[in-house]
Amino acid sequence: MVFSSILFIFRFLPVALILYFLTPKKYKNFTLLILSLVFYSWGEIKYIFIMFASIFVDYFASLGIEKYRGKKKATILFLCISVCFNLGMLFFFKYFNFFIDNINSIFDLALNHVKVTLPLGISFYTFQTMSYTIDVFRGNVKAEKNIINFGAFVCLFPQLIAGPIVKYTDINKELVERTVDKNQIQEGVELFIVGLGRKVLIANNIGMLWTEVEALGFMCISTPLAWLGIIAFGLQIYFDFSGYSLMAIGLGKMLGFNFPTNFNHPYIARSMSEFWRRWHITLGSWFREYVYIPLGGNRVSSGRIMLNLFIVWFLTGFWHGASYNFIMWGLFFFILISIEKLGFIKILNEHKIISHVYVILFLIIGWALFAVTDLARLKELMTIMFNFNGGTDWIYYLRNYGVTLVLAIVFSTPLIENLYKKVVRNKNINAIIMILIFIVAVAYLVDSTYNPFLYFRF
């Protein structure tokens, strides 16, 4: 079940909100836990055991850490149980067959694949629960003794499938004591509608351009169309993921939670370092706090900093998928950010136009690496992009998608958002606009069969 579906909007969500608000305050987390388990198991109930396992393992591991706080070996043992379990589950479901393929290729073997599908949201909730036990181990937070509260944190349906990656320290106080007023509900509804509009009206429409270009075959298109297709993909994945994140944050507010911001107009960045402070903010924060800083961060020699960056970006790429293109994508950004740290950032800071052109150009190349998992097809795409192949096919697609492309580019900047805040000050006008966005988005969902969510595969 996804947020941008008729099933969720008109069936699950109304029932969930009614049950939640009718539930006495003392039992709201229990209701939230049950609703979240129903939400998760709706599409694949066979993997509900993973959710229960995540709850019980990390719950008891954190209690063990708390109980044996004065015994270092015991606390390390409980931490290792949690980390090994979470990474083990992630490895088995997401990466096992990838390593089987590589072992078969290197040693000329014929080991069989394990027939499993990737559980929804496993890349997100394993990081969340793992960060919890790490924070308990560090002494940043007390272990949660109420298993219902902890289960609600792990399964919280607004951010369960695709983030934002909400750490326990972000909402631990709200798990115990939270209030929801009319203004917060209104803000949550508005965020949900804006996110739905981004996902359905912009991401889905511009995404069809990339889907059509990909279907043509990269060796059959012109160079301008190849670039046009990748630009469309970059806009699709931004509005797809940022829209879904906004819906999640809005749902959280309706329930009394304040989730962290996940996107902040990344395409206006003037360096790759700034881009990654604006894109998928909660993932970048997670790697910085639990990988980069423990490795030494910036407090070490320049050579060690490069090694730390390499590790973080290798893991960032590999986190996105068990495929070499994602590793290449991560290392691509490692190279660019390393160059910036070696002094190029000073040049970028001094030249506004050059910095923007640099970011957009290399982001397009990066999205090409990200979009195509098959390395042979990726090579074809790169060949077409950089060995000029003329043609007029791009004119047809620009004519069909030109308006959508321009709107997507404009909406990816703060321009419309800032203008809206200045012009629309009347609450009634704002309500009418929100209703119109909602109606048009729902009409699109009813009429269209094209409604992918790109981050489901991660």
Q: Please state the pTM of the whole predicted model.
A: 0.93
Question: What residues in the chain have per-residue pLDDT under 70?
Answer: 43, 450-458
d(CA 371, CA 366): 9
Question: In this predicted model, what pLDDT tens digit does every residue of 349-371 receive, in sequence order?
Answer: 999 999 999 999 999 999 999 99
Q: What is the pLDDT, as a whole number, of residue 51?
A: 87
| Cis peptide leading into residue 414 (ω within 30°) | no
Q: What is the pLDDT, as a whole number, of residue 12?
A: 94
Residue with tokens 């308006």: 403
Q: Long-range contact list for 189-193, CB < 8 A, 24+ apart?
A: 189/250, 189/254, 189/434, 190/250, 190/430, 190/434, 191/246, 191/247, 191/249, 191/250, 191/253, 192/3, 192/246, 192/247, 192/250, 192/251, 192/254, 193/250, 193/434, 193/437, 193/438, 193/441
Count of C-beta atoms within a 10 Å radius of residue 450: 11
d(CA 175, CA 145): 12
**Residue 300 in tokens:** 């070490």
373 Cβ partners below 8 Å, 6+ apart?
Answer: 321, 323, 325, 326
Q: What is the pLDDT, as a whole number, of residue 451?
A: 66
Task: List the catalytic residues.
Answer: 320
Angular region, 139: left φ>0, alpha ψ -120 to 50, beta rest: left
Q: What is the pLDDT, as a whole number, of residue 143?
A: 93
Find out whether 215 and 126 touch, Cβ atoms under 8 Å.
Answer: no
Question: In this predicted model, what pLDDT tens digit does every residue of 437-453 receive, in sequence order?
Answer: 999 999 999 887 766 66
d(CA 47, CA 49): 5
